[in-house]
Structure 1
Amino acid sequence: MKERKKTQKAHVLILPYHLQGHINPMLQFAKRLVAKGVNTTLVTTVFTSKSTHTDPTSSIAMETISDGFDEGGRTQAEGSKAYLESLRIVGSRTLLDLIKKLGDSGRPVNTVLYDGFIPWVLDVARQCGVLGVEFFTQTCAVNSVYYHVNRGLLQVPVSGPTVSFPGLPLLEVSDTPSLVSHYGSYTEVFDIVMNQFSNVNEVDWVLFNTFYELETELSKLWKVGTIGPTIPSMFLDKRLEGDRAYGINLFKPNIADCMNWLNGKPNNSVVYVSFGSVAELKEEQMEELAWGLKGSNCFFLWVVRATEETKLPKSFTEEITEKGFLVRWCSQLEVLEHEAIGCFVTHCRFNSVLEALSLGVPMVGIPQWTD
């Protein structure tokens, strides 16, 4: 028995929160661990597993836990708080069962790496006697702001006009994340974001999806590991041959039509516009953006999710056929890599920022939600 333990590989269980921008970086980190010879298992909810488009050739082992709503996910819950409570209670129980099952099958878990949005996972890790590592999908700078709010060091709403944080330059209130600068916006998200720090001082390690050179000052203040950018290797360092996609999509990307449309455009002539999988613009914002793109007289590729289409101005789609192309979802990395792209209008979520930085695409920021 002792000899087997010596030769047994480490086994890391990775649990992202089931949003596209949280699954992607944690899945990419899982690929890096596998490439280093570490047994790695990605854990999603039952409903997420059934409703996603997954790469069948992926080398990442997959398992599921329940959030209490296996058939309909969050939409079945009576509000965000009810869902999160069910996720905590049912998820804790089924995660504990999963860890025991993996151990009984000869694949014992050594470490649980979990999304900061689900801090209760640390309690399960402690109960099982394994290491708990918290993973943050945003920058140290953004999370420093949230940490100060969580600890009561910064009161919201902020009285302003400026605020200061260790390791950061003096900020105007408008420079801070929208949950702080526009207190009361996205109320369902506020508690989730702030609760990331409920037990951060108890974890064995904290990892950030960023790189050291971007976080030099803040990295000196916290015990952290910077492991980003976590984007597919062939768009970055090319160490993982064939790694050109994240591998899991909550929405089905329209890759062929996007590429065909871009292929017919001159170099650096297209404005790419995307506000990600969660941010919801107001109807007035959608209208201003729509007419702004049309009035620019530039070619543009705009990702408009199905749930946002009703906010577009009437007749807009018919009026932009010569210059614009609307798509419900796309492969963002392939779009940003295309030589026709000259500019990226982004909601400033950190995954998008990292992708654009890695591929050298200029950005116009219209910050939304938490960044």
Structure 2
Amino acid sequence: MASVRFDNVTKKFGEFVAVHDFNLEIRDKEFLVLLGPSGCGKTTTMRMVAGLEEATTGDIYINSERINDVLPKYRDVAMVFQSYALYPHLSVEDNIGYPLKIRKVPPEEYKRRIGEVARRVELDTMLKRLPKELSGGQRQRVALARAIVRTPRVFLMDEPLSNLDAKLRTQMRAELKHLQHELQVTTIYVTHDQIEAMTLAHRVAVMNRGVIEQLGTPREIYNDPRTLFVAGFIGSPAMNLIPGEVKDGVFASAGLRVGGAGRISIARAVLGVRPEDVHAASAEDPDVNLVASIYSVELTGENTLVSLQLGGRLMTLRADKNFAGQIDQRLGVRIETDRMFLFDAETERRVDF
């Protein structure tokens, strides 16, 4: 069992700071997702745990052991890569068993452990196949099995599902979540996909420019974004972020007026509201916050995404699956004021009201 801790860790590549003064404790048995766009430092952070990158300053611990100077092979971590990294000339069995072979595990135990892990990831009937004879999902299972068979203290997963198609990603997410629950191994998972983060994590660390913008459970991150970056990054479709002005608690921008913000005034503000908290209404309704033209209508199955023209940008609402509006039709909009957010455009921090 293992916890992982970063104490004031900074990683530089020349003059470029990839990770800045990073502090984080990952609890024993926790599934922690590092989430953010390309270049935010999430993979570099994970590679420092693996020993594939050295911290420029600061300390990294597994349990109470400082591991900065410990060789990668002695850290007792297992890494699953985006590219699977399978040996093409070895069978599924030999790929899974390679870490055991390196450790000179006795033959009987070698066979037993491979058999147990292969059954767990449903590869027990494919042990004699070569990687080229497998689908993408099956290859990813081989990579997972190779990590699992070592029974490490920590799993490190670097965007392991990004090469799979949408259907397989959904299936593998469920399998990964169940496996981690079953194995109870501390897991650090890196992704730019916020759906993966929301569905897999116990906690999410949203990273931007080498620092953690917000740390919390998926529900906290979604329902309580503390910065403009987190608000815009989490959610599919994304949160509506509309620049404007707040005066005496009323937000105004390009025909949109929304009250309910107490008595605050912000010269440069951004209103944030999720599509599910924006509701269609009659254009003749006097209580609507906005009347605008429909730009597009997209049926997604369970509901309909409606985009409206608002100044030079679009505003999206999530309507009923039977919504019958047409492009260019005028539509009224009501916003749930108790579900809206206001951000200071200068500091990009949320303003509570």
User: One fold, TM greater than 0.5?
Assistant: no
Query: When you count strand as a share of all residues, which structure comes out higher?
Result: 2
More helix by proportion, 1 or 2?
Answer: 1
Structure 1 or 2, whichever has the larger Rg, is 2
TM-score (norm 1): 0.21
TM-score by length of 2: 0.22
